[in-house]
């Protein structure tokens, strides 16, 4: 039999899917597979994932194919299916986290034992994590600006076409996960919703990105991060569509940057990338107040409550709240990063922990002692206080003049705490 199994992970799409396109070209029959593995840290993302899988199944069925779903250990289930079908190969997109890489290694070894070909493909990032090496030596770029230069000059692969048909052998397709609770009403899972959002963004949003991306109250960033995380969108296709959108493309480069750091330093979610000997305070009360959006600093609380309400947070707010936790409360970056990881719909190991270490001064920041002035940031990026008013209703009637410093107001605000730390 001439069958190839395509294992889907963080690439839940049919457009620009190099592994799927190659399998359809190379074999008469193809089995698109997703394994619901208990080891996957899906957390609040389960409902979104279920929508992504349902949408992918619909798309594949539209091509004459199917999405086969199994439950259990990814390697065991993939190899079991490949053996049952006497498949000649397993194709998959390569990813960078420690979990993904150990799974890839195990899968490659098991395939080898069973005399099944194993092939890894690109598609999770724009430029493959191992494609660029600094001229001065080393296995990855530690600093962003030289990476950005090399990345911009690096030739791109061609976008892969959606296969004309996907021909699947007779087999039990398996039941999809329950749609369950969608964590955030703002994000509908799946490639169809992702492509519609990308289309609107490229037509109406990206041109304003340089001016608008730091406007906390405005909806002026793409909000494509959950779709990029689950691979409902190809980052390369997005970059191609945004050609000329310099500042926006630079953000996509940040994503690739942290992925190549993670590939080289897989313990990025646990160990300091650059140990600085910080002594963190074990203050669970302060950390709890921060998580609940009750620090008494409105701009911080607004960000943390946006996270609780939407499972997403504006990038500027992520910078403000993370720096507040590590620089003002002196709480370990791991506490904040793990909380983000649990709640964010777009949480991924590379971007989340890479950015947290950056803010904590233990990561790739060339100015590790750089601090954020929280009040100045609040006045600059939320000048009218609309972002705070939206997420901190206790302050709803405060004028722009005092909303960022309610402790200066002669009238106490009922139900809203005094700042945990002095803001002078
Ligand atoms: C402490 C902290 C934690 C973060 N955790 C995550 C995370 O878990 N997952 C995540 O995708 N992003 C994370 N980011 C980066 C950034 O905040 C989000 O990617 C962005 O807010 C998503 O919104 P958007 O899609 O509208 O972004 P846009 O501004 O429209 O940018 C487009 C895309 O570029 C990428 N991008 C933008 N900024 C960054 C960045 N600083 N680092 C890496 N990629 C970037 C994202 O994929 C994003 O979707 C974090 C940033 C900080 C400061």
- Structure ipTM: 0.99
Domain containing residue 43: CATH number: 3.40.50.620
Please work out whether the CB of residue 221 comes within 6 Å of at least one atom of ligand 1: yes
Tally of domains within the chain = 3
DSSP summary character for residue 131 = S
Is residue 70 domain-resident?
yes
Query: Is 183's pLDDT higher than 80?
Result: no
Q: What per-residue confidence (pLDDT) applies to 116? A: 98
Same domain, 56 and 148: no
Q: Are residues 329 and 253 in the same domain?
A: no
Ligand 1: distance of its center to the CA of 63 in Å? 33
Tell me, yes or no, whether 174 lies in a domain: no
Q: Is residue 170 part of a domain?
A: no
Residues 60-92 have pLDDT tens digits of 999 999 999 999 999 999 999 999 999 999 999
- Based on the fold, state whether residues 133 and 224 are members of the same structural domain: yes
Tell me how far the alpha carbon of residue 225 lies from the centroid of ligand 1, in angstroms.
6
Domain end call among 73, 103, 124 = 124
pLDDT of residue 76: 98
Give the count of alpha carbons within 13 A of 185, CB side only: 1
Q: 73, 108, 124: which is the final residue of a domain?
A: 124
Q: Are residues 31 and 95 in the same domain?
A: yes
148: burial class by Cβ within 10 Å (0-12, 13-18, 19+)? middle
- Is the minimum distance from the CB of 317 to ligand 1 under 6 angstroms? no
Res 1 pLDDT > 70:
no
Ligand 1 centroid vs 348 CA: distance in angstroms? 10
Give me the CATH number covering residue 335: 1.10.579.10
C-alpha separations of 169 from 30, 85, 172, 213, 412 in Å = 8, 9, 10, 47, 69
Residues 145 and 104 in one domain: no
* Residue 173 is assigned to a structural domain of this protein: no
Do 132 and 258 belong to one domain? yes
Does 206 contact ligand 1 (Cβ within 6 A)?
A: no
138 and 112, same structural domain? no
* Residue that finishes a domain, picked among 205, 232, 264: 264
Q: For the segment 220-251, what is each residue's pLDDT rounded down to a tens digit? A: 999 999 999 999 999 999 999 998 779 999 99
Is 359 a domain residue?
yes
Whether 116 and 224 share a structural domain? no
- Residue 115 binned pLDDT confidence (cut-offs 50, 70, 90): very high
Residues 313 and 370 in one domain: yes
CB 372 within 8 A of CB 323: yes
Tell me how crowded residue 172 is: count the other CB atoms within 10 A of its CB: 8
Q: Is the CB of 262 under 6 A from ligand 1?
A: no
On whether the CB atoms of residues 60 and 242 are closer than 8 A, the answer is: no
Compute the mean pLDDT over every residue in the chain, rounded to the nearest whole number: 95
Is residue 246 located within the same domain as residue 211? Answer: yes
Residue with tokens 């990105």: 209
Mean pLDDT of 22-47: 92
Q: Domain check: are 289 and 398 in the same one? A: yes
Q: Using DSSP, state whether 259 is helix, strand or coil.
A: helix
The CATH number that applies at residue 216 is 1.25.40.80
167 found inside a domain: no
Indicate if ligand 1 lies below 6 Å from the C-beta of 319: yes
Residue 34 lies in a domain: yes
Residue 139 lies in a domain: yes
CB 238 within 8 A of CB 198: yes
CB 283 within 8 A of CB 329: yes
* Ligand 1 binding pocket includes 310 (Cβ within 6 Å): no
Residue 424 has pLDDT above 80, yes or no: no
List, as one string, the DSSP characters of 24-77.
Answer: HHH-SEEEEEEEE-TTS--GGGHHHHHHHHHHHHHHHHHTT---EEEES-HHHH
pTM beyond 0.90: yes
- The β-bridge partners of 29 are 3
Domain that holds residue 350: 284-408
Q: Looking at ligand 1, which residue's alpha carbon is closest to its atom 31? A: 251
Are residue 102 and residue 134 in the same domain, yes or no?
no
What is the percent of the chain where pLDDT is above 70? 99
The rounded Å distance from CA 181 to ligand 1 centre is: 24
Q: Does any ligand 1 atom lie closer than 6 A to the CB of residue 261?
A: no
Percent of the chain whose pLDDT exceeds 90:
88
Q: Counting Cβ atoms within 10 Å, is residue 379 exposed (0-12), middle (13-18) or buried (19+)?
A: middle
pLDDT tens digit sequence for 250-295: 999 999 999 999 999 999 999 999 999 889 998 899 999 999 999 9
């Amino acid at each position: 039999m001439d069958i190839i199994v395509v294992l889907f992970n963080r690439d839940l799409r049919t457009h620009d899917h190099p592994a799927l396109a190659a399998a359809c070209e190379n074999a008469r029959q193809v089995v698109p597979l997703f394994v619901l593995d208990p080891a996957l840290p899906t957390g609040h993302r389960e409902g979104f994932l279920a929508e992504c899988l349902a949408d992918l199944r619909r798309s594949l069925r539209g091509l004459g194919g199917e999405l086969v779903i199994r439950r259990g250990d990814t390697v065991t289930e993939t190899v079991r299916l490949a053996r049952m079908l006497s498949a000649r190969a397993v194709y998959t997109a390569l990813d960078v986290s420690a979990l993904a890489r150990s799974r890839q290694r195990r899968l490659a070894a098991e395939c080898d034992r069973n005399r099944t070909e194993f092939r890894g493909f690109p598609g999770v990032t724009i430029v493959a994590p191992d494609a660029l090496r600094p001229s001065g030596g080393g296995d990855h770029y530690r600093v962003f600006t030289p990476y950005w230069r090399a990345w911009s000059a690096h030739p791109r692969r061609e976008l892969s076409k959606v296969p004309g048909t996907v021909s699947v052998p007779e087999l039990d397709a398996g039941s999809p996960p329950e749609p369950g609770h969608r964590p955030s009403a703002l994000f509908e899972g799946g490639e169809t919703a992702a492509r519609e959002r990308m289309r609107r963004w490229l037509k109406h949003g990206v041109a304003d990105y340089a001016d608008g991306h730091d406007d906390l109250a405005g909806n002026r960033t793409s909000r494509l991060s959950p779709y990029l995380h689950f691979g409902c969108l190809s980052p390369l296709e997005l970059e191609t569509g945004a050609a000329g959108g310099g500042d926006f493309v630079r953000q996509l480069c940040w994503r690739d940057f942290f992925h190549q750091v993670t590939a080289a330093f897989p313990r990025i979610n646990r160990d300091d990338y650059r140990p600085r000997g910080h002594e963190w305070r074990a203050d669970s009360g302060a950390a709890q107040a921060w998580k609940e959006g009750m620090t008494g600093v409105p701009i911080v609380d607004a960000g943390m409550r946006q996270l609780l309400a939407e499972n997403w947070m504006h990038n500027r707010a992520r910078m403000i709240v993370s720096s507040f936790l590590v620089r003002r409360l002196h709480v370990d970056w791991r506490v904040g990063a793990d909380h983000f990881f649990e709640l964010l719909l777009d949480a991924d190991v590379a971007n989340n922990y890479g950015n947290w270490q950056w803010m904590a001064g233990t990561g790739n920041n060339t100015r590790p002692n750089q601090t954020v002035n929280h009040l100045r940031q609040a006045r600059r990026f939320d000048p009218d206080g609309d972002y705070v008013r939206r997420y901190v209703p206790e302050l709803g009637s405060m004028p722009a003049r005092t909303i960022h410093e309610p402790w200066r107001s002669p009238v106490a605000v009922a139900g809203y705490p005094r700042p945990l730390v002095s803001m002078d």
